[in-house]
Amino acid sequence: MEALLQTLVNGLVAGSLLAVPALGFSAIFAVLRFPNFAIGALATAGAYGAWLANVGLGAPIPVAVAIGFVVAGLAGVAVEFAALDRLGRAGHLMKAIGSLAVGMVLENVIRFAFGNDLKAFDLPLARDIVFGPVRIGPQQLASVGFALAAMAAFWAFLSLTSLGRSMRAVADNPNLARLKGVDPTVVALVTVFLGAGLCGVGGTLIGLDASLDPLTGGRILLSVFAAAVVGGLGSIPGAVVGAFLIGITEEMSSLALAPAYRLAVSFAVIFLVLSFRPAGLLGRAVR
């Protein structure tokens, strides 16, 4: 029972860390209409930016997280407009494959620059906080706080600002948005910056939770993808719900299965959900 409760808490932590990049991935999919598989490497790039700021420049963790956001956002924009945009003319499938390739290049650039060894953030040593049978690290708790804050900020941007409304309008109906005067290039640029930035925050938070290496982002790529698909590709609330479902299921599976089966569990969840709801939990049927 205690193990179950602890695992549930771990799942909630994992889910909230997964939800941030899943939001970014889903937002990019909703507006640009292709799955950007470079987000794993972009998350890593953001995390290394944050690590450099923290360990190299002594930036406190909240500042480092913000830098992770900006670095990944800029890298995402560079990747989109230097490489992927050109592939767009050949169709969304080409862009998806191209993003996979660019992601590998980026990952190896990072490996070349920083090496393969593990990096750790400069964190004060602190005791776990204990709630009855459940324990949680203070940094984990802070990371969940960052994740919730990032999600809330993104939600507020989408629902309260006119640029956010235009983004939703493009996701809903790109031609009508153009007829109303929305510049699709500007909206794509902002979406990629914010979406990739959220992935950078996710990568940083995961790096804070354990340690950082060139595969930090790549390891979560498939879980992020699973979360977005389960929630309904392109659905913003869906990405969050999907992330918690995947996070909790992956942690729960560790009670019974070896960690190597985590991803298999995620994909079993995809299989189950899509069998009953082909558009995902909160997705709209493709029209």
Partner 1 sequence: MLLEATDLVGGYPSAEQIVKGVALSADAGELVTIIGPNGAGKSTALKLVSGLLKPSAGAVRLAGQDLAGRSPQALARAGLGFVPQEHNVFASLTVAENLEMGCLFAPREAKARSAEAYARFPMLAEKRRDPAGSLSGGQRQILAMAMALMARPKALLLDEPTAGLSPAAAHDLFATIRGIARDGLAVLMVEQNALEALEISDRATVLVDGRNHLDGPAAAVAGDPDIRRLFLGGRQSTPGPQGQ
For tokens 């990049």, the residue is 21
Residue with Cβ nearer partner 1 (135 or 284): 284
Among 33, 178, 219, 277, binds partner 1 (CB under 8 A): 178
* Span from 14-22, 93-101, 172-180, 189-197 in contact with partner 1 (CB under 8 A): 172-180
- Per CB under 8 A, does 90 bind partner 1? no
For residue 113, the SS3 value is helix
Among 41, 65, 147, 182, binds partner 1 (CB under 8 A): 182
The residues facing 136 across adjacent strands are: 129
Residue with Cβ nearer partner 1 (171 or 198): 171
Residue 50: CB atoms within 10 A of its CB come to 31
Residue with Cβ nearer partner 1 (182 or 229): 182
Give, for 244, the enclosing helix (H) or strand (E): helix 236-256
In the complex, the smallest distance separating the C-beta of residue 215 from partner 1, rounded to whole angstroms, is 36
Residue with Cβ nearer partner 1 (99 or 166): 166
d(CA 95, CA 198): 20
- Per CB under 8 A, does 166 bind partner 1? yes
* Span from 104-112, 145-153, 175-183, 219-227 in contact with partner 1 (CB under 8 A): 175-183
Cα–Cα nearest to 144, from 205, 219, 212:
205
In the complex, the smallest distance separating the C-beta of residue 191 from partner 1, rounded to whole angstroms, is 16
Among 125, 160, 179, 286, binds partner 1 (CB under 8 A): 179
d(CA 116, CA 16): 27
Among 87, 150, 177, 224, binds partner 1 (CB under 8 A): 177
Using alpha carbons only, what angle is made at residue 267 by residues 265 and 273, rounded to the nearest 5 degrees? 105
Cα–Cα nearest to 238, from 29, 65, 54, 93:
29
Among 123, 135, 180, 271, binds partner 1 (CB under 8 A): 180
DSSP 27-46: HHHHHH-S--TTHHHHHHHH
d(CA 75, CA 56): 20
Residue with Cβ nearer partner 1 (186 or 255): 186
Residue with Cβ nearer partner 1 (92 or 219): 92
Among 168, 263, 268, 274, binds partner 1 (CB under 8 A): 168
Among 4, 123, 176, 257, binds partner 1 (CB under 8 A): 176
- Per CB under 8 A, does 156 bind partner 1? no
Residue 256: CB atoms within 10 A of its CB come to 8
In the complex, the smallest distance separating the C-beta of residue 32 from partner 1, rounded to whole angstroms, is 17
Cα–Cα nearest to 69, from 12, 117, 120, 24:
24
Quote the distance between the C-alpha of residue 109 and its chain's center.
20
d(CA 22, CA 282): 14
Residues found near partner 1 in the complex (CB under 8 A): 162, 165-166, 168-169, 171-173, 175-183, 284
